[in-house]
Amino acid sequence: MALRLDEGDTELSEINVTPFIDVILVLLIVFMVAAPLSTVDVPVDLPGSSAPVSQRPEEPLWLTLTVDLDLMLDDSAVAREALGAALDAKTGGKRDTPVFLRADRKVDYGALMQALNRLRDAGYLKVALVGLEDAP
């Protein structure tokens, strides 16, 4: 005895990928918009340098001196008096950790020297000055 299937009882053997493609396109757009936002740093106009480019560590410790003469440790503002304590908290008290100092090109030399003096007073002597690579 043969079973007879009505037209409404047939199974589809094809996969409908249209919803999957829609989801992937939406995720792609979300990541395209969100990726630049996650890499935004403290805005600073760095001066150029002709020094050879050195290898960047995996997790650098950034200290930024903005055009308004504010100190930023990574992405958070730090009071000048609390710089040593903030650095100790960030490094776990390891004072041989290199600190990458970025300063806006409009910052005067005296303010840069004050930041360097505060780093020295806090015991952080490994300081690298960061600049943009000049074209030859």
Q: What are the pLDDT digits (tens) for 34-88?
A: 877 665 566 767 677 676 776 777 788 899 999 998 999 988 899 989 999 999 9
Residue 2 has pLDDT above 70, yes or no: no
Query: Between 6 and 78, whose confidence is greater?
Result: 78
CATH number of 48-133: 3.30.420.270
pLDDT of the residue at 120: 92
- pLDDT (mean) for 84-106: 90
Name the CA radius of gyration of the chain, rounded.
27
* Residue 101 contacts residue 61 (beta carbons within 8 Å): no
Domain definitions of the chain by residue range: 48-133
Query: With b meaning 16 or more CB within 10 Å and e meaning fewer, what string describes 98-118?
Result: ebbbbbbeebeeeebeebbeb
- Better-scored residue on pLDDT, 13 or 1: 13
* Listed range (7-21, 45-59, 73-87, 115-129) with the worst mean pLDDT: 45-59
pTM over 0.75: no
Check if the beta carbon of residue 72 is closer than 8 Å to that of residue 42.
Answer: yes
